[in-house]
Amino acid sequence: MSIQEQYRSRAKELLGEGSVKMVIGYGVGTTATRRRPIFITSPDETDRLVLDASCRTNLAGYLLREGLLADQKSIAVFLLPDGVRALNILAAESQLATAQIVVLGFEIKGEEVKPLEGTAAGDFSAIIAERKEQRKAQPSHEMAVKLEEMTPAERFAFWEKEFSRCIKCYACRAACPMCWCRRCVVDNNQPQWVNTSSHTLGNLEWNLVRAFHLAGRCVECGNCSEACPVNIPLHLLNGRMTDEVLTAFDHYPGADEQQEPVLASFRKDDPETFIL
Amino acid sequence: MSEPFEPKIVAFVCTYCTYAGADLAGTSRLKYPPNVRIVRLPCTGRISPMFILKAFQKGADGVLVSGCHPGDCHFDHGNYHARRRWTAFNALLQFTGVPEERVKFSWISAAEGIKFAELIDSITEEIRTAGPFEQYHKLIAETGSAASV
Amino acid sequence: MAKIGVFVCHCGENIAAKVDCTKLVAAMEGHPGVAIAHEYKYFCSEPGQESIKKAVAEYGLTGVIVAACSPRMHEATFRTACAEAGLNPYLCEIANIREQCSWVHNDGEQATRKAIEITRSLVEKVKRNNELQPIEVPVTRRALVIGGGIAGIQAALDIANAGGEVVLVEREASLGGHMAQLSETFPTLDCSQCIMTPRMVEAARHPKIRLLTYSEIEKVEGFIGNFNVTVRQKARFVDMNLCTGCGECMQKCPAKKISGEFDCGLANRTAIYTPFAQAVPNKPVIDSEHCIFFKNGKCKACQRVCPTDAINFEMEDELVELEIGAIVVATGFQVQNTALYGEYGYGRYPDVLTGLQFERLASASGPTGGKITRPSDGKEPETIVFIQCAGSRDPSKGIAYCSKICCMYTAKHAMLYRHKNHDGNSRIFYMDIRAAGKGYDEFTRRAIEEDGAGYVRGRVSKLWQENGKLMVRGADTLLGRPVEVAADMVVLATAMVPQPDSKELGKTLGIGYDEYGFFNEAHLKLRPVETATAGIFLAGACQSPKDIPDSVAQASACASKVLALFSRDKLEREPVIAQNNEATCSGCWGCVLACPYNAIEKKDLTDRSGNLIRRVASVNAGLCQGCGTCVTFCRSNSIDLAGFTEKQIFAEVMGL
Amino acid sequence: MTKILYSDDLTTCFSTWRKEGIMTFGPVQEAGNSGFREVQDEKELDMNLILTSRTLKELFFPRTEPMLSYSIGKQQIETSEFLPSEKPCIIFGARPCDAAGMAMDDELFNWDYRDEYWFRRRSRSVIMTIACSTSDDFCMCTSLGLGPDSAKGSDVLLRPLASGKGWLVEELTEKGDKALQSIASLLKEGTEEAAPTAEVPVLFDLEACTTWLADPENFESHFWKEISERCIGCGTCTYLCPTCHCFDIQDEGDTYEGIRRKNWDSCSFQLFTMHTSGHNPRNTQSARWRQRIMHKFNYFSLKFSVNSCTGCGRCTRECPVDMGVRETLQAISTLQK
């Protein structure tokens, strides 16, 4: 049985026995390689589910749809390991209870899709721990390395150019499972900390603030860079933040659902080499 | 001849340590350059990265953020939280090309009037040498000019 | 529409000499929202304050900026004046153009420009200030006094005698502190123990004083009127209720060769011991570090001989939780580590002593029974050299300050020496004789004129042993020639330094300390016994070197501050506290984690039928101290800090 | 006999225009993203793009533009208006769908008030459109009554030669004619054949869709929730739409001075209709998606007798969750049958 069939029948089972009210997964898209999020509520519809190497979108954000979890019923969701980390953060930040979530975990290696053992968020700690070590050892993104080698002025010019394209559609925010604020700071106009205009200054402010708000929370799922209609390499910013919290505070975002937010906790011996 | 460049520096400080340290520099009649403008906050824990960005938007060539030494926070651990935020935000600023000399972080206690005066001296000099923060000023200028089309 | 009044103070010449106040006033007059701008020589004076009040009424001001000295100086003054004029005091802000402007810049033009920017940015801030109402908090009428030396005892007795409850915490096994170690006291030469021990007993017996000896402060939380203090009572291994203080155990203890702290190493003690004969409480403790049973599991001699079965080797440290309204810190001092003075041979030559050791030698209750003899051979010294400022006023050794008491006690030592050894010859190397104080100069004069104290103005450069003598080489700067003295004993007037762990205690208490570790007062001249933390006061040498009269006076001052606090049912607290916007809060609880005071609670939002909609953060106004750490954490900008709101800071920065 | 502009002459063509003080614009590709901007010469252009990812509307309706600057004095506020220059522009290489969008928005911006910012730029500009000989999976102009060689909104239409060496030139407006006059010497007479236009399949029955939408019964249909369930409410579809035209006015400044700006806004945003009271009449994403579709295919056409969709397909092409006008209208058209 193909992995897609396995997961379809698992979804059918869950819906059939009534242990979940909905399965959030992937369906066919407009073109052969596009996948779209779908929401299955009946066991008869599980044939619409698709699972292949094109299923990259992190679906965790859909769990926070207003009212979706209010009835205390469970929902099953297809998640890559980074999606499980996102789930952990959402739980750590009290946005949902993992007890309500059945994880249909999978991972993609090259073009191959592999099932992941487990159903609860906590079942994936081994693979997350493994990914933490991989992340530590992982060389930085090629462009990030180039950037670090540049002079500050060159770096500034690079980002100025990138941010100049930003059209402030906020697709990065909308696509991000961690951007769940009831009111985003940019939408607060009393005071207007972040300029809402999409001139480069306003764009720089927005992108810096977003990256900062994701420091220690970004699971690097890639949703934002994928969603950005003007191809700003947002993953570089978020990746840099992850590098920082990993090296400075040994914080791997979403390691488990008890993890304290890195910026709301501290250690007395945190490094402080840059402070005069 | 144009006027010599005088850097504009904005300092965000906590009232219990660095602000008191700046007062001590005053009562000790120490002298330092008049380029710094102090914004007083109750604690470094209250100093948001937004403040730094707004200072730059107002044309600052440099920003100083300063508070109590670790362990000395009047509010017990506001500065420990601040330190984590600064670590992350500082990394972000550097990664986006804000030169290291433009944003400085320091611990200055109420007893360190001398350190305050000396620090203002040295950062003013450093920024004077670096010159105006042209790259940022350009972005500010663009917001006031008609779109290119 | 804002109507802001700007009041520019000349502070005599302090501001006006550098800042062109007239120009500042003109600039402010032209600033949007400013109704009036005035200048005056001293706004803090009575007529100055009156003119502000008058302007508030006359122009219907909605906000006031006083451009003057630091807000740490007169913010309260001007806020009170505004309140008296009917303006909410929190609509008044201070622009600091003295400490942070006129005093620190040379160029008048630049200083003026800076003063304009400082002032206008605060005008922008004050436009967004909100009326705030003070927060009332109850007062627990119980004081904690930390340190059972003369300062702590004095403060405790003064408070207790006025009816306040006191918890007196001492880390040693007995009250007494350094004063109990002294022989006689200057300038009256009355016996230290004779005046000290009755006070110790009085404190211990006082019905309003709870004594916790052999105890240390573990944790301090809360705020003025409402501190929660945890005290660690170290295990004594002796049941205080059963022990009668008979002393049998100390007789039988086989570990007898432990260097006694009280006698500064000049005599030994046992492992189960009281620090000194007149200890209060006069019940022993077991020093588990040296106790044979604790070291190798065998002995228990004390337990066998104890007639009341008071010895309990199982005893553990206990944590005592206290609710406290005010704290007096009276943790005293230590003498400087003499190892710094290799050139004076301390530690190498047994007859080189510290001043405190000399006190023990001279004390009637000391190891020699008051006979001044050499530790090395027990002989009476024929010549003693006293070296003053051994550490003090010596920046190269890290101490720039004067220890204040050394001149006096050295003179006293010379007198005591002569009184006990009538042929004794004393030579005192000094830098200056500082004898300001009632009867002090007369005292040193007496030492010279009546008791033959031989003062030599100069420093000692070298000290060595030769033919059984301690050879002291120094300079007599008055005669301008080197001096060499063959002495039998040398006494170093070592510096007074803070307790080695004073910085840790400062952190626990949340009070400031200077580079040495002496605690910082709120204002050196005007608030010398308060700390910057409301409700915590300082007495004695923990603040700076002090003699007994000064320590006692400061302790009584502390008591009066504490009693003033206790005279009220409720305290008014600054309403600078966090507030949460429940509409935008997502309930992530980052603020709860970040809050140092556990002041943020989780609150249920329910619909009309009581169904839970969601949970949001809610700030407990009694606990919040207004640091604003939560505000910065809150990504959605839901939490804000009254007095330093996001709008205010934004305006202030945009006004620069 | 027709006029031909050969690719080889493009350099001269651009330099001639620029010498005459005409600003030249065209499609460019940078950092994997494409759009229109001013170019110095034709070498900067990317002529191989089927369609730029950003639209032509940015040249007439920038995503942010200053309207006026103000300075606040003690007693009064002084303002000074920004208006776009009237310097002539030639936009070379637009696509028919984008050009059509500009014509649609001409109606909109001249309805309850005349938008000077839009029309100054419109009247100074000549749009030289290149007909499409290729299309991609998302193109759907034919479903909207347009086509790969529609002339709507263009001043000049260029049809690619079958040889790939240039374009057949067709002036459509007076403005277009004028722009061509200055390069008259470069336009060669010839008989070369144009390449066939792209074949863009018709995907839905537009009339069936508009009929369904016009039926008030369907406004509250469950269809809206189902079709938009995965919508994440980003503004991509609106910001990349050649006809979406909503904007917000923002004052940016401090106490002393500031700038009033006109910024793009989007009906996809929750904040778009949020009232000060906290009430939001379009409180769900499905209500917002319905608004977008209704506006394009019902409200707009009621007022201006034309739908405000050109079938460029960007909404689907760029959607992070694979939604778009196409899926919705296909579904409605199926419902109707």
Radius of gyration for the alpha carbons in chain D, expressed in angstroms and rounded: 22
Average pLDDT, chain B: 92
Task: Classify residue C134 by its DSSP letter.
Answer: P
Domain end residue (candidates: A128, A152, A177): A128
Q: What is the domain count for chain B?
A: 1
- Hey, what CATH topology would domain C578-654 get? Alpha-Beta Plaits (3.30.70)
Contact assessment for residue D131 and residue D70, using Cβ atoms and an 8 Å cutoff: no
Rounded average pLDDT over D247-275: 92
In a domain, D181, yes or no: yes
Contact assessment for residue B40 and residue B13, using Cβ atoms and an 8 Å cutoff: yes
Q: What is the domain count for chain D?
A: 2
Q: Which among C211, C204, C220, C216 is positioned nearest to C171, based on CA atoms? A: C216
Taking the CA of residue C322 as centre, how many other CA atoms within 13 Å lie in the half-sphere pointing to its CB?
32
Segment C263-272, tens digit of pLDDT: 999 999 999 9
Q: Which among C359, C352, C375, C363 is positioned nearest to C491, based on CA atoms? A: C352
Place of tokens 């080889």: D8
Q: Where in chain C is the domain with CATH 3.40.50?
A: 4-127
Pick the CATH number of C4-127 from 3.30.70, 3.55.50, 3.40.50, 2.40.50: 3.40.50
In a domain, B81, yes or no: yes
Q: Closest residue of A to B99, CA-based?
A: A152
- Hey, what CATH topology would domain C334-497 get? FAD/NAD(P)-binding domain (3.50.50)
**D186 and D210 in a common domain:** no
Bridging pattern class, strands C165-169 and C209-212: parallel
Q: D238 to chain A: which residues are within 8 Å by CB?
A: 169
Q: Which among D55, D46, D106 is positioned nearest to D311, based on CA atoms? A: D55
Q: B81 to chain A: which residues are within 8 Å by CB?
A: 263-264, 266
**A120 and A38 in a common domain:** yes
10 Å Cβ neighbour count for C298? 8
Work out the pLDDT band at D27, boundaries 50, 70, 90. very high
Place of tokens 């945890």: C230
**A124 and A147 in a common domain:** no
Phi/psi-derived region of residue C252, left when phi > 0, alpha when psi is between -120 and 50, beta in every other case: alpha
Contact assessment for residue A178 and residue A172, using Cβ atoms and an 8 Å cutoff: no
Q: Closest residue of B to D260, CA-based?
A: B144
- Residue D337, pLDDT > 70, answer no
Contact assessment for residue C359 and residue C191, using Cβ atoms and an 8 Å cutoff: no
In a domain, B3, yes or no: no
Task: Classify residue C90 by its DSSP letter.
Answer: G
Segment D213-228, tens digit of pLDDT: 999 999 999 999 999 9
Which of A181, A260, A263 minimises the CB distance to C636? A181
Rounded average pLDDT over B23-46: 94
Contact A229 D263 (CB under 8 A): no
10 Å Cβ neighbour count for C337? 13
- How confident is the model at residue B77, as a pLDDT? 85
Contact B84 A262 (CB under 8 A): yes
Q: Whole-model pTM?
A: 0.78
In a domain, D239, yes or no: yes
Q: Which among C148, C534, C158, C520 is positioned nearest to C325, based on CA atoms? A: C534
Contact assessment for residue D157 and residue D149, using Cβ atoms and an 8 Å cutoff: yes
**Residue C128, C-beta contacts closer than 8 angstroms, at least 6 positions apart:** C645, C647, C648, C651
D117–chain C nearest CA distance, Å: 30
> Between A276 and C63, where is the model more confident?
C63
CA C391 centroid distance within chain: 21
**D47 and D7 in a common domain:** yes
Contact C636 A183 (CB under 8 A): yes
* Cα dihedral D172, D173, D178, D179 in deg (nearest 10): -60
- Hey, what CATH topology would domain C143-177+207-234+318-332+499-566 get? FAD/NAD(P)-binding domain (3.50.50)
Find which of D54, D222, D230, D237 to mutate to test the A interface (most A CBs within 10 Å of its CB).
D230
Q: A197 to chain D: which residues are within 8 Å by CB?
A: 64, 250, 252, 261, 263
In a domain, D226, yes or no: yes
In a domain, A200, yes or no: yes
**A260 and A156 in a common domain:** yes
Average pLDDT, chain C: 93
Q: Which among A104, A69, A117 is positioned nearest to A90, based on CA atoms? A: A69
Work out the pLDDT band at B2, boundaries 50, 70, 90. low
For D286, the 3-state DSSP assignment is: helix
* Cα dihedral B136, B140, B143, B149 in deg (nearest 10): -50
Contact B53 A158 (CB under 8 A): no
Which of D 214-233 lie inside 8 A of A, CB atoms?
229-230, 232-233
B146–chain D nearest CA distance, Å: 6
Work out the pLDDT band at C526, boundaries 50, 70, 90. confident
Work out the pLDDT band at B149, boundaries 50, 70, 90. very low
Contact assessment for residue C187 and residue C589, using Cβ atoms and an 8 Å cutoff: no
- How confident is the model at residue D32, as a pLDDT? 83
- C-alpha–C-alpha distance, residues D285 and D272, integer Å: 12
Token pair in block for residue C646: 């996001």
Token pair in block for residue C481: 């020639």
Which helix (H) or strand (E) segment is A105 a member of? strand A101-109
Work out the pLDDT band at B48, boundaries 50, 70, 90. very high
Q: Closest residue of A to C589, CA-based?
A: A93
Contact assessment for residue D186 and residue D13, using Cβ atoms and an 8 Å cutoff: yes
- How confident is the model at residue A112, as a pLDDT? 93
In a domain, D13, yes or no: yes
Place of tokens 């207007």: A192
Which helix (H) or strand (E) segment is C541 a member of? none
Segment C64-85, tens digit of pLDDT: 999 999 999 899 999 999 999 9
Which helix (H) or strand (E) segment is C81 a member of? helix C71-84
Which residues form the domain of A181? 142-264
A240–chain C nearest CA distance, Å: 19
- C-alpha–C-alpha distance, residues C5 and C43, integer Å: 13
10 Å Cβ neighbour count for D111? 11
In a domain, D117, yes or no: yes
Average pLDDT of adjacent 10-residue blocks, chain A of 276 residues:
92 96 96 95 96 95 93 96 96 95 95 94 94 87 89 96 94 96 92 92 96 96 95 94 94 94 90 87
**Residue D185, C-beta contacts closer than 8 angstroms, at least 6 positions apart:** none
Q: What is the domain count for chain A?
A: 2
**Residue C483, C-beta contacts closer than 8 angstroms, at least 6 positions apart:** C456, C458, C473, C474, C475, C476
Contact D82 B146 (CB under 8 A): yes
B21–chain D nearest CA distance, Å: 30
Determine the Cα angle at A58 with ends A56 and A60, to 5°. Answer: 155
In a domain, A275, yes or no: no
Which of B10, B55, B81 minimises the CB distance to C629? B81
Contact C594 A93 (CB under 8 A): no
Segment C401-418, tens digit of pLDDT: 999 999 999 999 999 999
- How confident is the model at residue B148, as a pLDDT? 47
- C-alpha–C-alpha distance, residues D212 and A134, integer Å: 54
Domain end residue (candidates: A97, A128, A159): A128
Which residues form the domain of B25? 9-143
B54 in contact with chain A, both atoms CB, cutoff 8 A: yes
- Residue B1, pLDDT > 60, answer no
Work out the pLDDT band at C621, boundaries 50, 70, 90. confident
Segment D280-336, tens digit of pLDDT: 999 999 999 999 999 999 999 999 999 999 999 999 999 999 999 999 999 999 886
Size of interface A-B (CB pairs under 8 A): 123
In a domain, D266, yes or no: yes
Q: Which among D238, D245, D246, D247 is positioned nearest to D312, based on CA atoms? A: D238
Which residues form the domain of D62? 2-190
Residue C483 backbone phi and psi in degrees, to 5: -125, 145
Amino acid (one-letter) located at C98: R
- C-alpha–C-alpha distance, residues D33 and A232, integer Å: 9
C647 in contact with chain D, both atoms CB, cutoff 8 A: no
Taking the CA of residue B66 as centre, how many other CA atoms within 13 Å lie in the half-sphere pointing to its CB?
32
In a domain, D242, yes or no: yes
- How confident is the model at residue C351, as a pLDDT? 93
**D217 and D182 in a common domain:** no
Bridging pattern class, strands C135-138 and C142-146: unpaired
Which of B31, B47, B75 minimises the CB distance to C632? B47
